[in-house]
Structure 1
């Protein structure tokens, strides 16, 4: 299959996942009281606000796609996993709203973020509300709810580490990978495991799906960090260079520091300056220094290594051929963004 054909298949797969998931998402958001409901509807792209029209864009649907494809890979009809997919997506958007607030990111999916448009208190409240309805969505399935609650603790640990890293200049690569495993990989891992649980798969198969999602999540974060420095806003949905502007210890940056040498030392000087955010010339220089120090190449190679590990774990799950094909396509799409 050509690259164009594979991309079209992935778009169709994600469109189907969105179609199956959106009714449950809307039902959950409709349970929220006003004005929180309207704010959540704006965040999901379902409601206009002043100069910002409704777009209907609540993201690519990668996490719901993983839930549904994992369920199918274990022999269940994807429709059976729609509520689980909605629960995962609600948790994901809870983290997005709070992350944007903590990171002071003013743009997501080409629109203002919740805190930037409605203020900090409303962002906290709306994120909390999405978490509550996510729990309600899975309340009738104790095993699924337990899986998601364990994931939430990993998310909190990962986000806490990410915030702590902003005050440090000695973050190791292993620490950074552990942070990414909590902040990003945990939810993709849980999404895949939830599909297995919905299908009633044997524990060893569900565990293999969980490992598939873990490695895929690390690859996802590595690619996301690369796009944040060398990508395009049209692909990432956020301003390119924002992480460098805040002097964030992303994986390519930490890899560059770990490499040592004059480029790493110059990068460290930029990051340790005490005069606030980096300006545009500094951001451009930092990107060049990271690449020359080897941070870009390391992140690309590590993303590929994690993708390979994910596919090996998928094989261990003994999946149904159609579901395995869908999960493999999603894995390739996630690790090929921006190419």
Structure 2
């Protein structure tokens, strides 16, 4: 087994262990919901099919709750204290996924119909709303005397997240988008919740120091690396691995980071790529294949790969600066490695 294999094995074991800690409390929280919303929520988490029949192996990886538990452990907060915050973070994450799939028109999520495709947009929209309400309720309930700080930490992330998602949608209609604007969008849409995940468990315990600030910056840069790799997967990802349609982001003319980088190229081929984005006719499979080739040839792919590597390096530097507990830091480093290797 190579060193990389060993690190990945540690990461997957860590995710499994933390999921075993978080899932029972997550299920208990979802059990509070009215029956109709509980059905959609449990489907979203991969616990059962659209008829409520139990299923296995179709849930998410649990990265964000793992970041919460491990970051808290980095500053000496035990898992039993941070697990409520981890549940809240996972509830919020799935609220965003339910709404994102509606806005993006994505019919697949985790190798099966997305929430709106299975239950219809209204039911998926309402299920997302109720998961957000449930998240704040769980967090307030589990944070004791630090409830106000914890909820405000989460709310600050939500403000940034919604602003970033709003920008992402607006970019689809904008004739021109700068790389700085696109990075700011990613900082809100994706990095804000990961940054929140990395400080929330400590804030629940009343720990707020320079060490937790560095953990927040770790989450911020890891989130940017995650979004960059997600954008790469959105163009070149294997549907059998991603559970989404090939070239899904191109088909809806999403101005993702690799695309924006390519469109900024002075090469004449950038005009051809831009023509695909301003046309008002549906895109064929041949069109999306051509667009993917153009993004690659115009340097969008290599730019995104280098930017992801840069942000991962920054993330690990902030993790080291937090003077973390050794075992938790090793687990976080292993998880960061999984983010880096998602496109391979």
TM-score normalised by L of structure 1: 0.96
Q: What is the aligned partner in structure 2 of residue 74 from structure 1?
A: 75
Query: Is contact 1:209–1:313 with CA below 8 Å preserved after alignment?
Result: yes
- Deviation (angstroms), 1:237: 2.5
Q: Quote the Cα distance in structure 2 between the aligned partners of 1:199 and 1:311.
A: 24
Q: What is the aligned partner in structure 1 of residue 58 from structure 2?
A: 57
- Deviation (angstroms), 1:238: 1.5
Matched, 1:320 2:321: no
Q: CA RMSD in A?
A: 1.5
Q: Tell me, what secondary structure is at the counterpart of 1:304?
A: helix
Matched, 1:257 2:258: no
Unpaired runs of 5+ residues, structure 1, are none
Q: What is the aligned partner in structure 2 of residue 234 from structure 1?
A: 240
- Deviation (angstroms), 1:268: 0.5
Q: Deviations over 1:244-285 (max 9, x none)?
A: 001110000000011221221110111111113x11001110
> Which of 172, 195, 198 matches 1:189?
195
Q: What is the aligned partner in structure 1 of residue 127 from structure 2?
A: 126
Q: Quote the Cα distance in structure 2 between the aligned partners of 1:32 and 1:200.
A: 29
Matches for 1:8-157 after TM superposition, within 5 Å: 8-49=9-50, 54-140=55-141, 141=143, 142=147, 143-157=149-163
Query: Is contact 2:76–2:325 with CA below 8 Å preserved after alignment?
Result: yes
Query: Is contact 1:224–1:236 with CA below 8 Å preserved after alignment?
Result: no
Unpaired runs of 5+ residues, structure 2, are none
Matched, 1:270 2:276: yes
- Deviation (angstroms), 1:72: 1.1
Q: Quote the Cα distance in structure 2 between the aligned partners of 1:260 and 1:25.
A: 50
Q: Deviations over 1:12-65 (max 9, x none)?
A: 000011111101110111000121111111111112235986225320010011
Matched, 1:310 2:315: yes
Q: Quote the Cα distance in structure 2 between the aligned partners of 1:181 and 1:302.
A: 13
Q: Quote the Cα distance in structure 1 between the aligned partners of 2:122 and 2:50.
A: 18
- Deviation (angstroms), 1:168: 1.1
Q: Tell me, what secondary structure is at the counterpart of 2:35?
A: coil
Matched, 1:337 2:342: yes
> Which of 171, 180, 198 matches 2:177?
171
Q: What is the aligned partner in structure 1 of residue 301 from structure 2?
A: 296
Matched, 1:162 2:168: yes
Q: Between 78-87 and 149-158, report the one with greater CA deviation.
A: 78-87
Q: Deviations over 1:90-109 (max 9, x none)?
A: 00000000110111111100
Q: Between 10-19 and 133-142, report the one with greater CA deviation.
A: 133-142
Q: Deviations over 1:158-195 (max 9, x none)?
A: 11001100101200000000000000000000000113
Query: Is contact 2:187–2:223 with CA below 8 Å preserved after alignment?
Result: yes
Matches for 1:189-208 after TM superposition, within 5 Å: 189-208=195-214
